[in-house]
């Protein structure tokens, strides 16, 4: 087996970082390696961890929440290994990702956790160009992959496309849920987390506000499952255990939904690089055939498209 993959499966953080770099690389030779890695993961029958997305307005308390949630999960699930991917807004000036989250989410030397930040791209709805591929890789190496993305409108929707379940963080009295109601985002998450519930009175009132919005939505669409609501406080250290339980009980998407998700991200990539023209040229080839895996499918599609354009 590929040495890098062996070491990554054993939890070697340097190996994992190198492996991720392959999945972020645009070089043809690296992309070929990704195909080999994927084939080996399939042959090894490596597990498929849960992908959980967490989004919410800037400063809502997402990183703090992740820190406490991961601690609670590590306790509750003694065998679990957890990866966190923070999708940072890119600086319009430097083009690089802001590293603020690195300083906030601090797992120290914990062997069972891994942290990675990725630059987001507004043109791609607020997630990075390779975020899906990287998360897809990480879930083969970890039991849980938590993805933090800053809510900038479209990114709530993109993160829900990417993840098996999505959480939306709301801070008390931010008025965020009114904005989210208007933009249809309230209908997306499987769970809401009211953060910073340090004062009982404050917590009660924000819960009431959120609950009445959710009741309203439920009246409009009674067929959908009502989402769960959690209240957390990093000061009082409350609510994280309940949220950890919710996540531990959640299941990944079924195979059909997973294929649909892969098709979505392939389409998105083709559209991003080649526009509607690209989709018209090879859109009909996107449909997966039996036994064909994502990385190889992606590479074949993009190569076919290059050939089609040259003709």
Ligand X SMILES: Nc1nc2c(ncn2[C@@H]2O[C@H](COP(=O)(O)OP(=O)(O)OP(=O)(O)O)[C@@H](O)[C@H]2O)c(=O)[nH]1
Positions in the binding site for Mg ion (CB under 5 A): 62-63, 101
CA dist., res. 197 & res. 55, Å (int): 18
Task: Give the nearest distance from C-beta 240 to ligand X in angstroms.
Answer: 10
Token duo for residue 233: 């406080």
The mark string for 84-103 relative to ligand X (x by CB under 6 A, - otherwise) is -----------------x--
Q: Which of 49, 53, 61, 125 binds ligand X (CB under 6 A)?
A: 61
Task: Give the nearest distance from C-beta 133 to ligand X in angstroms.
Answer: 23
CA dist., res. 196 & res. 263, Å (int): 38
Task: Give the nearest distance from C-beta 249 to ligand X in angstroms.
Answer: 23
Which residue shows structure tokens 């036994």?
291
Q: Which of 70, 150, 160, 282 binds ligand X (CB under 6 A)?
A: 150
Q: Which of 59, 175, 184, 275 binds ligand X (CB under 6 A)?
A: 59
The footprint of ligand X on residues 179-218 (CB under 6 A) is: 195-196, 198
Q: Which of 209, 218, 234, 259 binds ligand X (CB under 6 A)?
A: 234
* Among 17-25, 54-62, 249-257, 303-311, the segment contacting ligand X (CB under 6 A): 54-62
C-beta closer to ligand X: residue 58 or 95: 58
97 touches, from Mg ion, ligand X, none (C-beta below 5 to 8 Å by class): none
Task: Give the nearest distance from C-beta 11 to Mg ion in angstroms.
Answer: 25
The mark string for 115-144 relative to ligand X (x by CB under 6 A, - otherwise) is ------------------------------
Q: Which of 17, 178, 235, 257 binds ligand X (CB under 6 A)?
A: 235
Q: Cα dist. 210→89, 125, 179 in Å?
A: 27, 26, 12
Task: Give the nearest distance from C-beta 48 to ligand X in angstroms.
Answer: 27
62 sits near ligand X (criterion: CB under 6 A): yes
Q: Which of 5, 16, 19, 60 binds ligand X (CB under 6 A)?
A: 60
Token duo for residue 284: 């009909």
* Among 28-36, 205-213, 231-239, 277-285, the segment contacting ligand X (CB under 6 A): 231-239
What DSSP line would sit under the chain, residue for residue? --HHHHHHHTT-HHHHHHHHHHHH---HHHHHHHHHHHHHHHHTT---PEEEEEEESTTSSHHHHHHHHHHHHHHHSTT--EEEEEEEPBPTTT-SBP-HHHHHS--TT-TTEEEEEEE-BGGGTSB-TTHHHHHHHHHHH-SEEEEEEE--SHHHHHHHHHSSEEEEEE-TTS-HHHHHHHTTGGGS-SEEEE----SHHHHHHHHHHHHHHHHHHHHH-TTSPPPEEEE-BTTTTBSHHHHHHHHHH--PPPHHHHHHHHHHHHHHHHHHHHHHHHHHHHGGG-SPPTT--HHHHHHHHHHHHHHHHH-
* Among 3-11, 23-31, 219-227, 228-236, the segment contacting ligand X (CB under 6 A): 228-236
Q: Which residues contact ligand X by CB under 6 A?
A: 56, 58-64, 101, 104, 150, 195-196, 198, 233-235
């Amino acid at each position: 087996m590929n040495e890098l993959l062996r070491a990554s499966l054993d939890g070697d953080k340097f190996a994992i970082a190198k492996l991720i770099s392959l999945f972020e690389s645009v070089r043809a030779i690296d992309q070929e390696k990704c195909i080999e890695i994927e084939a080996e993961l399939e042959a090894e029958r490596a597990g498929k961890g849960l992908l959980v997305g967490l989004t919410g307005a800037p400063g809502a308390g997402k990183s703090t929440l992740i820190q406490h949630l991961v601690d609670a999960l590590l306790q509750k699930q003694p065998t679990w290994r957890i990866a966190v991917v923070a999708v940072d807004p890119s600086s319009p000036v430097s083009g690089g990702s802001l590293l603020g989250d690195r300083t906030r989410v601090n797992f120290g030397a914990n062997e069972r956790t891994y942290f990675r930040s990725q630059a987001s791209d507004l043109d791609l709805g607020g997630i990075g160009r390779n975020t899906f591929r990287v998360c897809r890789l990480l879930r083969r190496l970890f039991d849980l992959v938590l993805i933090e993305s800053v809510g900038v409108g479209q990114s709530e929707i993109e993160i829900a496309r990417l993840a098996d379940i999505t959480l939306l963080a709301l801070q008390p009295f931010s008025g965020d849920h009114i904005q989210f109601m208007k933009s249809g985002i309230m209908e997306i998450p499987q769970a809401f987390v009211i953060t910073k519930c340090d004062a009982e009175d404050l917590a009660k009132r924000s819960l009431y506000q959120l609950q009445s919005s959710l009741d309203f939505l439920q009246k409009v669409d009674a067929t959908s499952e009502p989402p769960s609501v959690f209240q957390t406080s990093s000061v009082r250290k409350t609510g994280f255990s309940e949220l950890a339980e919710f996540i531990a009980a959640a299941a990944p998407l079924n195979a059909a939904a997973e294929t649909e998700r892969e098709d979505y991200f392939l389409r998105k990539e083709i559209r991003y690089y080649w526009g509607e023209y690209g989709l018209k040229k090879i859109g009909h080839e996107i449909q997966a055939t039996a036994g064909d895996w994502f990385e190889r499918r992606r590479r074949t599609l993009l190569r076919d498209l290059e050939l089609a354009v040259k003709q």
